[in-house]
Structure 1
Amino acid sequence: MRVFVTGATGALGRYLVPGLVTAGHEVTATTRKPGRVAGLREAGAEPVVLDGLDREAVIAAVLDAAPDVIVHQMTALTGGMRDIRKPDKLFAATNALRTRGTDNLLDAAERAGTRRVVAQSYAGLGPDRRPGPPKTEEDHDDWRPIPAASGGRAAIEHVEETVPARVPEGIVLRYGGFYGPGASDVLLDAVRRRRMPLIGGGTGVASFIEITDAALATVTAIESGPPGVYNIVDDDPAPVREWLPYLAEIVGAKPPPRVPAWLARPAVGEFVVAQMTTSRGYSNAKAKKTLGWEPRYASWREGFRAWVAG
């Protein structure tokens, strides 16, 4: 198939593009940075420098590629921890790509007659109102209303509602927390430096996905699978109090410092405190059953060890 991949030089795109080329697909891959064109060409893709917020440029590029499938992996995540108390400020560019950028791609898909669009969404730590069992795709994300993070929640909802509604084969992949080579070096650095504390009781539950497992799930969704939303996470949702000390141990760091929620709140904000204390995690049962996908790393325990050892 002809596959148009946006955000092709991001954490996931770096594995997705070679995977698609190896599978025999003809790949057009976009990046915002001209300096990354050579790498995309070496990976076997046809590179295009593109700003996802430039509607006319997006439509022109898609019409030129005439893809069978469009893959929306556009984000503007830098891995930095600045403005952590103000998530909407930190993720402003990504929120724009998830709203205006999504609309631009869907407009392009309609103009080009592309029936299948596969878009990125989020299944990481969330400020859920209260603890509970892992969320399925049918569960409403009952996030606590936090003013500093309202734009991010609205942007995620826009992707999840708009993509399946506007194209015949709209698929949204909710990825858990990425880890693996090149995927979350900032997390390893924070743990090594003991700059990631265990807040409150560490009862917030995280769902992770190793980066090559995420790429394989994406290839699977591109090639087959019915429209809809899928949680792309491993089999082992885990509270922060389990995975954070474990990661510290295997990187050779001291245990993370423990900080009461009331003391952490002024430093990191309500959003992070809620992530660390009330997040519920996600279930991957639908993706495994309907897409026929299985993560190579069923648990973050084995995946973290491979990541750190690599």
Structure 2
Amino acid sequence: MSRIFLAGGTGIIGQSLVPLLRGAGHFVVGTTRSGEGKAKLEAMGIDAVIINVFDAEALRAAVTAAAPDVLIHQLTDLAAGIDPAAPEEAIRRNAHLRREGTANVVAAARTAGVKRMIAQSIAWAYAPKPLPFIESDPLDVNATGSRAISILDGIVPLENAVLDQNDFEGFVLRYGQLYGPGTWSAEPDGSAPVHVEAAAYAAFLAVDHGRPGAYNIADPGGAVAIDRAVRELGWRRDYRRHDQA
């Protein structure tokens, strides 16, 4: 069993992930930005701390106090959705969290002596090429417009911070477009959709399985190949929590 610090415990994936971690007997500390979120996490049976990821000192203290073996980074800034009237504002906010917030999370993980870090990325950041995309394909560093904001200002620095270091085992899970309870779509949508509970299951598996690096997490037959996740993590795209009840 591991001690786990879950950054983003009240997020869409975090809420599906907590029961999996608890069910496996892990000790979990989850983060939230509000008292309401803290109460929700505690009701789910885990410890909780109210943290602003941009407060690097407070974050470092919280992670150090939790003394985790594994840190899972599921933070985003998309809870309010993307306003069609000003879409770039939300995209910039989320990229800022992925860039600056992730840097703070990585620094805290390093200080606390974390052995493994698992971070959320996206599966639609690859440079154009014949499909399917595999994890070794380059990201779209020549993107323009809002796509450049998301990839160059957010995803590239996030993945570099997690993968390009030697202090802990770094994993990035490149999730496809989420669907299912609590997401923006009830049914599969996009070039590489993935059910939210299957996405959470990938993070759960990465606690104890796989080699460091990037993993595509999406339904089969779409824009990305998922062979590595199936082979190394033992991931199942059809996983649903009710199947385990």
Q: Does TM-score exceed 0.5, indicating one fold?
A: yes
CA deviation profile, 1:124-174 (whole Å, cap 9, x unmatched): 4x5854x62110001112365223332211210112222012233100000
CA contact (8 A) 2:56 2:104 kept: yes
Q: d(CA) in 2 for partners of 1:104 and 1:30?
A: 14
CA RMSD of aligned residues (A): 2.3
Where structure 1 has 5 or more consecutive residues not aligned to the other structure, the ranges are 190-195, 197-204, 238-280, 298-302, 304-310
CA contact (8 A) 2:126 2:138 kept: no
The ranges of structure 1 where at least 4 consecutive aligned residues each deviate by more than 3 angstroms after the TM superposition are 83-87, 126-129
Q: d(CA) in 2 for partners of 1:173 and 1:71?
A: 11
Q: Residue 35 of structure 1: CA displacement?
A: 1.1
CA deviation profile, 1:166-220 (whole Å, cap 9, x unmatched): 2331000000111111122xx459xxxxxx9xxxxxxxx6001111111111100
1:114-129 → structure 2 map (5 Å cutoff): 114-124=114-124, 129=128
Aligned pairs, how many? Answer: 237
Q: Which residue is 1:271 aligned to? A: none
Q: Which of the pair has more CA radius of gyration?
A: 1
SS at match of 1:158: helix
Q: d(CA) in 2 for partners of 1:128 and 1:117?
A: 25
SS at match of 1:290: helix
Q: Which residue is 2:163 aligned to? A: 164
TM-score, normalised via structure 2 length: 0.89
SS at match of 2:121: strand
TM-score, normalised via structure 1 length: 0.71
Q: Does 1:211 align with 2:210?
A: no
Q: d(CA) in 1 for partners of 2:18 and 2:151?
A: 28
CA deviation profile, 1:70-121 (whole Å, cap 9, x unmatched): 011111113534146743x222222122111111111111111112110000
Q: Residue 224 of structure 1: CA displacement?
A: 2.0
1:86-235 → structure 2 map (5 Å cutoff): 86-87=87-88, 89-124=89-124, 129=128, 132-142=130-140, 145-154=143-152, 155-166=154-165, 167-184=167-184, 187=185, 206-235=191-220
Q: d(CA) in 1 for partners of 2:174 and 2:196?
A: 13
AA aligned opposite 2:108: A
Where structure 2 has 5 or more consecutive residues not aligned to the other structure, the ranges are 241-245
Percent identity over the alignment is 36
Q: Which residue is 1:19 aligned to? A: 20
Greater fraction of residues in helix = 1
SS at match of 2:68: coil
Q: Which residue is 1:252 aligned to? A: none
Q: d(CA) in 2 for partners of 1:112 and 1:61?
A: 9
Q: d(CA) in 2 for partners of 1:11 and 1:207?
A: 18
CA contact (8 A) 2:110 2:168 kept: no
Q: d(CA) in 2 for partners of 1:221 and 1:188?
A: 26
Residues 143, 236 of structure 1: alpha-carbon distance in 2 compared, 3 angstrom cutoff: farther
Higher relative contact order (CA 8 A, sep 6+): 1
Residues 182, 140 of structure 1: alpha-carbon distance in 2 compared, 3 angstrom cutoff: same
